[in-house]
Chain A
Amino acid sequence: MSLPLSTDTPNTWCPGCSNFCILAAFRQVLEKLVAEESLALHNVVIASGIGCHGKITDYLALNSFTALHGRLVPVMSGIKCANPALTVIGFSGDGDAYSEGLEHLLHAARRNSDITLFVHNNEVFALTAGQATAASPKGFKNKASPGGSPEAPINAPCTMLGAGASFVARSYASDIALTATIMARAIRHRGFSFVEILQPCITFSDTRRERAEKIYRLDQSALCDVLSSAIERAEGADGRVPLGIFYDIEKPTFEDDLGLVTQASPQLKSRPRPRRAEARR
């Protein structure tokens, strides 16, 4: 570890919170991408929403925009449009991305903004002490719905695939290696990259045991450029939860279509070109 990424802000995540794993994975990715010169730190902008995840901007000595609850995605699109040479990476939560700000997520995916979003999905509003989000399981008991949440949860990767995201993946926070691999792929991907990172909330929704039984890793040797099979994979089999990259295609970005990419710095150009999407079968 050599990059000067640390800050003086005391970390106030709960001891044992898997946000530490996500932070560790991201730092690894930055080290790697900077070491191989595909990224320069001063061209990285991180953004966050409001929730436990949102504190991450205080814990990294990087350009950052701590946005409003649910509104970081349009902020990120704006930053990228204003300066396409920047690499814009967002951290959001399930409340932040799926409850309050869902519309922005759909439209960013649809227009293929060249930004990367990591959603810390702990299936609960933790910072407000444990209410149900759009990702909480039906029947989830909490102070706001003591009889259990009456709403079914969203399957965000499927939603993102339907909306037109060009890179969709899911990871599990405590699997730092997998998260780092997917994060690196997502950042390199040209276009809208969506990564849901499942995590327990050890205080309000400790899902560690049941989650361990349900998650499985996808066979990544198969092609990821056919939408119908990507949706099928993201839905998971037998109520189990798949991890891995569901979809990865190349298509023109929002900034391409606005005619803004001519301003791109060498930084962006030195990124490895994504492989061409194979013919759909």
Chain B
Amino acid sequence: MRYLPSLLFTHRLYDTICEMQKDEHELCTVGIGGIAGDGIIETGHTLGSMLTALGYQVSASFTYPSLIRGGHNFARISFAAEKVWSDHEELDILIALNQETITLHRRELRPGGLIIVEQDEATDEQVIAIAYTEALAQAQAPRIARSSLTLGALCRLLNLPLEALYTALQKSLKKTESAANTGLARIGYTQIQSKKFHCPAPPLSPHGAKEFVNGNTAFARGLIAAGLEYYLSYPMTPTTSLLHYLARQKEEHKLTVIQPESELAVINMALGVAYAGKRVAIGSASGGFALMQEAFSLAGMAELPLVVAVSQRQAPATGVPTYSSQTDLRFCIHAGHGEFPRIVVAPGDPAEAYLAGINALNDAWKYQVPVIVLLDKILSEHAMTSELLPAQAAHELGSVAEHPDSHYGRYAMTHNSISPMAFPGTLDTAVKVNSYEHDEKGFTVEDLPSVSAMLGKRQRKGALMRKDLTSRGGIKVSGDLKSNTALLFWGSTKGPVQEAGRDLLRPVKFVQVLGMEPFDTEGVSKALDGVKTIINIEANENGQLAGLVRERTGIRASDMILKSDSRPFEAGALASQINSVLTKPL
């Protein structure tokens, strides 16, 4: 796509690209394929971490079917000195741990690209043959470690220091495994003799504490930074890795992680935890969240602080479990029966997911409401070089009753409609929460004045949240702010949109919506005011964001680029689609 001449072997392609590119940067893409059980995803993470440690910006995708052994797993890693928002389709190097990988991905290899594969000898000039079996025997390594051999070869090809790979392997593997893997990496490195491949140069002065991280991990780190104490979840792709990550943090961060019998148990148990005064979050795919609806509504009614991570995958029903969509925006903003204030935020990259984790937990406690952080498979599992700033960490307790006594009312009316919390176990104090409509002390009521009073209290709290949260900013606007063309998008679509943004025929304004509820009506209106062409881009069939924007602001997107086939937007194809809108006659 936009390689500098040094990376290109054919001039024809170079010419085409020079025509298209406005701000080329050097970029390299490596694909790693094999069967489930080959450790493809782990290998991709090792490579991404290594490149990030060397100062590169990395963006990686991980594709796998819903099975445990066999099938085709594929990791694709793009890296450059500058920010890479989304990995690229065109491969420079393909690492094949089986022949099927070559069958499936050879056509994605650019002219002059190379294939690393297990073969006795090279069958053509693109193939670099490595004797896997001998190397395994030599290093006394198990079959799953073959990928380390290829990473060693890759380091040699790209002229990257083998020590960086050793460090990355040692970080990601158990001590007992890392010796065999580093041994294999060395063998792989030494097997490559003649062929050299150009590697983009890392930035001269890499700045900040960058790391290679996916959205789930970043979000979990945000929760921890805001004082998470309990995490409950029932396993479901793509939130399973969130459960696994937090379970690993149990000791270090004094977390209690529980996997109850069902999503219904998860959310009801979490409400018990919140009632007893502990900071709790739960997570599920949208299908699991569908099971939680009644209790989500209870969180609103009982004013219990709860964070829910909802990661979208392809749906309806069980759908295509390991692939993505953005089909649950409407579902989440309207989640639960009845009307009650809630927060729904949709981060678009790992750094935003980290901040969303921090804000979600603090806001849940500040306003005593359920908060949804809306993710998707791509954001949850694909990884990017990111900076998670410790300075953003904050642990806000919310409004806690100072000296509760026998007069305490869990739902006491206050100037801002937020009732100070007390928790069971407080001397002389009865803390009563209720799924029925209730009075200030939590007793069930049905009489009109009491019902109206409590409905009004929750409505006023919603209005306060709207004011506070929209002043914090629910959108991000970038690019050419004066452009009469805007790209409207949300969630992980941010990656391909930003990446496609480099290849557009004219400058545009980027409008990313993060705050879905409360919705920043004023901010979005202002951002789209006077914009002639609004191109709405999302991964669903109905343009859910475009519909929401129109509902809340009256502004209608003029063009739609929608993709609902479960596969991610490819930045290159997306740029062509946007360009065709930009060049169409008015």
Contact = CB atoms under 8 A, between A and B. Distances in A.
State yes or no: do A and B come from one complex: yes
Interface of A: 4, 7-9, 42-43, 45, 50, 55, 57-58, 61-68, 71-72, 74-83, 85-86, 103-104, 107, 258, 260, 265
Contacts of B249: none
Interface in B440-457: 442-444
Contact of B443 (A7, A45, A77): A7
B441 to A, nearest CB: 9
Contacts of B433: 64-66
A72 B443 CA distance: 17
Interface in B264-296: 264-266, 268-278, 280, 294-295
A64 B425 contact: no
B277 A82 contact: yes
A11 B154 CA distance: 77
Interface stretch (B3-11, B255-263, B548-556): B255-263
B428 A78 contact: no
Contacts of A57: 432, 434
A50 B274 CA distance: 20
A74 to B, nearest CB: 4
Contacts of B331: none
Interface in B388-437: 406, 423-436
Given A66-B434, A75-B272, A77-B260, 10 more contacts: A42-B427, A45-B424, A63-B425, A64-B434, A82-B230, A82-B272, A82-B278, A83-B425, A107-B265, A258-B256
A74 B427 contact: no
B262 A67 contact: no
B427 A78 contact: no
B185 interface: no
A103 B261 contact: yes
Contacts of A65: 271-272, 275, 432-434
Interface in B565-581: none
B165 interface: no
Contacts of A82: 230, 272-278, 280
B425 A86 contact: yes
Nearest to A62: B430
A159 to B, nearest CB: 15
Contact of A64 (B269, B423, B429, B442): B442
B242 interface: no
Contacts of B298: 67-68
A265 B271 CA distance: 22
Given A58-B443, A63-B432, A85-B425, A68 B295 contact: yes
12 contacts: A4-B406, A9-B444, A63-B430, A64-B432, A65-B433, A67-B268, A71-B295, A78-B275, A79-B424, A82-B280, A83-B277, A104-B264
Interface in B337-352: none
Contacts of A50: 435
B272 A77 contact: yes
A74 B264 contact: yes
Nearest to B262: A103
Contact of A78 (B269, B426, B443): B269
Nearest to A78: B272
A58 B436 CA distance: 11
A116 B427 CA distance: 22
Contacts of A68: 268, 294-295, 298, 435
B317 to A, nearest CB: 21
A78 B256 contact: no
B444 A58 contact: yes
A183 to B, nearest CB: 20
Contact of A43 (B277, B295, B424, B443): B424
Contacts of B436: 66
Contacts of B442: 64
A75 B269 contact: yes
Question: 6 closest A-B pairs (Cβ-Cβ)?
Answer: A78-B272, A82-B276, A78-B269, A63-B424, A74-B268, A75-B272
A164 to B, nearest CB: 13
A63 B427 CA distance: 11
Contacts of B435: 50, 66-68
Interface in B476-521: none
Contacts of B272: 65, 74-82
Interface residues of B, number: 43
Nearest to A77: B269
A43 B430 CA distance: 10
Nearest to A254: B258
Contact of A55 (B273, B428, B444): B444
A43 B425 contact: yes
A79 B271 CA distance: 8
A77 B406 CA distance: 26
A81 B295 contact: no
Contacts of B258: 81, 258
Contacts of A107: 260-261, 265
Contacts of A42: 424-429
Interface centre among A50, A82, A85 (most CB of B within 10 A): A82
A81 B230 CA distance: 9
Contacts of A9: 443-444
Contacts of B230: 81-82
A46 to B, nearest CB: 9
A74 B260 contact: yes
Contacts of B266: 74
Interface string B298-337: 1000000000000000000000000000000000000000
Nearest to B423: A83
Contacts of B260: 74, 77, 107
A8 B406 CA distance: 14
B298 to A, nearest CB: 6
A221 B575 CA distance: 82
A42 to B, nearest CB: 5
Nearest to A8: B443
Contact of A81 (B256, B264, B431, B444): B256
A258 B435 CA distance: 29
B430 A81 contact: no
Contacts of A43: 424-425
A127 to B, nearest CB: 12
B327 to A, nearest CB: 27
Contact of A79 (B265, B275, B426, B443): B275
Contacts of A85: 425
Nearest to B266: A74
A7 B445 CA distance: 13
Interface centre among B258, B268, B270, B442 (most CB of A within 10 A): B268
A58 B438 CA distance: 10
A78 B430 contact: no
Contacts of B273: 78-79, 81-82
A37 to B, nearest CB: 15
Nearest to A40: B427
Contacts of A258: 256, 258
A239 to B, nearest CB: 33
A5 to B, nearest CB: 10
B276 A79 contact: yes
A258 B268 CA distance: 18
Nearest to B429: A42
A85 B427 CA distance: 13
Given A43-B425, A86-B424, A258-B258, A61 B268 contact: no
A72 to B, nearest CB: 8
B443 A104 contact: no
A7 B427 CA distance: 18
A265 B426 CA distance: 13
